[in-house]
Structure 1
Amino acid sequence: MNAVFFALVIVSFGFATWGQLTGNGAGMQALSQAMIDSAAGAVELAVGLIGVMALFLGLMKVAEAGGLLTIIARLISPLMSRLFPEVPPDHPAMGAMILNLSANALGLGNAATPFGIRAMQELDRLNTKPGVATDPMVLFLAINTSSVTLLPTGVIALRASAGSQDPAGILPTTLVATMAATAAAILAAKLYRSFTPFAATPALPETTHNTPTPDSKSADRINAPVPNTGEPYPLWVSMLALGTLAGLIPLTIFFGQALSPWIIPLLFVGFLTFGWLRRVAVYEAFVEGAKDGFWVAVRIIPYLVAILAALGMLRASGALAALVHLLGPLTETVGLPAQALPMALLRPLSGSGAYGILASIIQDPAIGPDSYTGYLVSTLQGSTETTFYVLAVYFGAVQIRRIRHALAAALTADLTGICAAVAICSYLYR
């Protein structure tokens, strides 16, 4: 992200310098004003996001306290044992992987990362060749960067704060895109492994890995014992749940316009009812989750200021207009507006950067959250993961130097997710 951020600033400065010297474009005054306005707008955006983020994370805390994470883990456990035959079903690695994917499905990124790192640590205990990624490691990473997302709560919250009339309208498009990406991840990981056999590499001197680390609360969860999810449901129950999930796709496609006004109220009532029936103190749990939502919205302010200032410079300098003019005719033919192209390119590189681009696009009065482009970039944010960040953090946690086909499988899943997002958004909203 350092290189991307620096490149955006330098390109913007170069274009503005050319405009200042030739008089054929924006000058330094426009660049300066854009930087200040974008920084102020980033803070205003984060403040407006606080309430909605607190609402959704409060609901997710009620669901988590009621055991919804465990229920989903028990549902996918039989499927996971068949996807990962090399990992014993009772091994801690299996439990950590199941909990990680379950948390991702519910949009609980703060819980997913510690479980994911713990899963890699446990998988490394089964590794006979330290420093080389095993087949289960690669498959887990590929699935993790594309895992099925049932509730993209963060994106829904951002769309709501941007004034969307249908903030939950991305649920069907996100579901289609993530299911396609996950299927591609599994197939790619299984197929590409024949091109990168699991072989030892010469020993390398120990190095210090400067990879991002979770906060202290996350570190405690990583080092804690993996929670017991209980006995897995029978395979037929898991297949029935998977079939029901797949059946939701045509239902949401054909009846999405009629169902979308009901989604957020039903989520609110449904999660509170679920927590109440599971004997959760729903008010206290909701407030605890809302506190997390408040601090999440506050913590993203520096990232939003950085990326929105850089994007404001890019727009004011004329560089973005030049990019749109150059690539627009080509990308428009496949349903990808040039305005959305930076989002598609940056999403695998930086979650905060892509989040900033998403905010910039749907806050633009000329585009808005409920336009085709608004739906597309929202779907891209909700249905794909920050691939390079996940690879760096998870492999860095266990000192993996040879990642084999992990990057190729993850990028295949990313490309499939982008294509699926374009296809479903074109069908529903174009």
Structure 2
Amino acid sequence: MALNIVWLAFFVIAFIVGLYKLIFLNDLEVFSQVTNGMFESAKAGAEISIGLVGIMTFWLGIMKVGEKAGAISLFSRLVNPFFSKLFPGVPKNHPALGSVFMNFSANALGLDNAATPLGLKAMKELQDLNPSSDTASNAQIMFLVLNTAGLSIIPTSVIALRLASGSSQPAEIFVPTLLGTFISFVSGMIAVAMYQKINLFKPAILVFLLGFGGLTSGLFYWMKDMPPQQMATYTGLIGGGIIFAIIVMFLVQGFIKKISVYEVFIEGAKEGFQVSVMIIPYLVAILVGISAFRTTGCMDFINNSIGSLFAAMGFNTDFVPALPVGLMKIVSGSGARGLMVDIFNNPLYGPDSFVGRLASIMQGSTETTFYVLAVYFGSVGIKKTRHALACGLIADFIGIIAAILIAYAFYH
């Protein structure tokens, strides 16, 4: 199992590096720092999971009502022409396709609180079709990799942080980030399709890609001249309005079909609570390993090595100070956010510098692969992840490279 090897490597490499610092650099605090960081990460992992209990309980309750009312099946029929090509192992009009669509929609709108429970619901429904309970199916891998690609139409949180840091044009990274996240999404799709021998040159898939391109272009031309506060207001209105409308639709349709919506909600809510508790060990495990690797300076070593390599090859290395944001985002969303804000507050850079803009694009166009795999697979007890990690990392690294090239094209 790839994740098993990677997780073990976090600890072994961190221990070797810690010994080196202790023996050769006389760093007497290295292991206490690592241990403290691991304990803090373990605490954070439990707190994140507990924090999910409320939203998971609510959303899975609502989803159960939508399922009983037939609304999820309606979503499945609407998206079947596209998703049936990406998920050939899922029966036509299966409710899982509707849940997958709702998860992608919430991610695209930047509604993280809604996206995670919807994604866990989709994973559970895909698990019901899985012939091997401890091994990831092709459909689950495609779903997870597209999630790790982090398709997002509007990077609302990044724009807000740029505004708070004093950027004169906080929303200027809207289009570059949109391009970056789309490239990452498509590259993840291609990586999985090549492994699973899925033909992507089909009308339904091409129509989707062209349709998404048209939608994003329309949003760009509508919002390109808006002040950042107004853009944030409209994106919040669109996202919140769509989600609330779906909730009301589920409840009303359930009532029309004479379903006891309250009792059905409670039935689904109980499932949400159980899922929230189940993911705690998986999330704590991955966050503790990442903490040990990061605290010993291994991540810094990788960044510096990449910079030295490109410098030796004669390439421009202006991107190197922003690189930690992209690499950290793969393992920790909050860590990457902290690094980005640090760049914004650094007098050498700032939010409107090339480095600040590149960091913003990376933060908005990549996703926390290890977190997503640990939480989603952990929620259904998957132990053998097959090619999920490799394809997810391919999407992430292509997204990072795309962000660098896009930043050079727009700002250098």
TM-score, with length taken from structure 2: 0.62
Find the counterpart in structure 2 of residue 421 from structure 1.
403
Name the SS for the 1:401 alignment partner. Answer: coil
Find the counterpart in structure 2 of residue 113 from structure 1.
116
How far did 1:329 drift? 2.0
How far did 1:422 drift? 1.1
1:268 maps to 2:215 = no
One of 359, 362, 366 as aligned partner of 1:384: 366
Alignment of 1:10-409 (within 5 A): 78-193=81-196, 241-245=211-215, 247=217, 259-262=224-227, 264-268=229-233, 272=237, 326=308, 329=311, 333=315, 337-409=319-391
Which letter does structure 2 place at the counterpart of 1:170? I
Name the SS for the 2:330 alignment partner. Answer: coil
Which letter does structure 2 place at the counterpart of 1:110? N
How far did 1:104 drift? 0.6
User: Which 5+ residue runs of structure 2 have no aligned equivalent?
Assistant: 1-6, 34-71, 198-203, 246-286
How far did 1:12 drift? 10
Which letter does structure 2 place at the counterpart of 1:344? G
Which letter does structure 1 place at the counterpart of 2:122? A
TM-aligned CA distance change 1:389 to 1:16, over 3 Å: same
1:288-308 Cα distance to aligned partner (Å, 9 max, x none): xxxxxxxxxxxxxxx9xx99x
How far did 1:333 drift? 2.0
How far did 1:86 drift? 2.2
Partners of 1:361 and 1:164 lie apart in 2 by 12
Partners of 1:260 and 1:6 lie apart in 2 by 51
TM-aligned CA distance change 1:162 to 1:132, over 3 Å: same
Partners of 1:237 and 1:180 lie apart in 2 by 16
Which letter does structure 1 place at the counterpart of 2:149? S
Partners of 1:136 and 1:275 lie apart in 2 by 29
1:135-166 Cα distance to aligned partner (Å, 9 max, x none): 11110011001142112122111111111111
Which letter does structure 1 place at the counterpart of 2:336? A
Partners of 1:85 and 1:189 lie apart in 2 by 13
The question of whether the paired residues in 1 share the 8 Å contact of 2:79 and 2:97 is answered with no
Identity of aligned residues (%): 38
TM-aligned CA distance change 1:235 to 1:161, over 3 Å: same
How far did 1:242 drift? 2.3
Find the counterpart in structure 1 of residue 45 from structure 2.
none
Find the counterpart in structure 2 of residue 283 from structure 1.
none
Which letter does structure 1 place at the counterpart of 2:331? L
How far did 1:72 drift? 10
How far did 1:382 drift? 0.8
Which letter does structure 1 place at the counterpart of 2:212? L
Partners of 1:12 and 1:399 lie apart in 2 by 33
How far did 1:85 drift? 2.8
The question of whether the paired residues in 2 share the 8 Å contact of 1:97 and 1:119 is answered with yes
How far did 1:425 drift? 1.0
Find the counterpart in structure 2 of residue 46 from structure 1.
none
Find the counterpart in structure 2 of residue 56 from structure 1.
none
Partners of 2:102 and 2:313 lie apart in 1 by 38
User: Which 5+ residue runs of structure 1 have no aligned equivalent?
Assistant: 22-26, 36-69, 195-233, 281-302
1:92-144 Cα distance to aligned partner (Å, 9 max, x none): 31122111111110111121111111111110100112211111111001100
Partners of 2:18 and 2:343 lie apart in 1 by 18
TM-aligned CA distance change 1:278 to 1:134, over 3 Å: closer
Name the SS for the 2:331 alignment partner. Answer: coil
Structure holding more helix per residue: 2
TM-score, with length taken from structure 1: 0.60
1:202-244 Cα distance to aligned partner (Å, 9 max, x none): xxxxxxxxxxxxxxxxxxxxxxxxxxxxxxxx99996774241
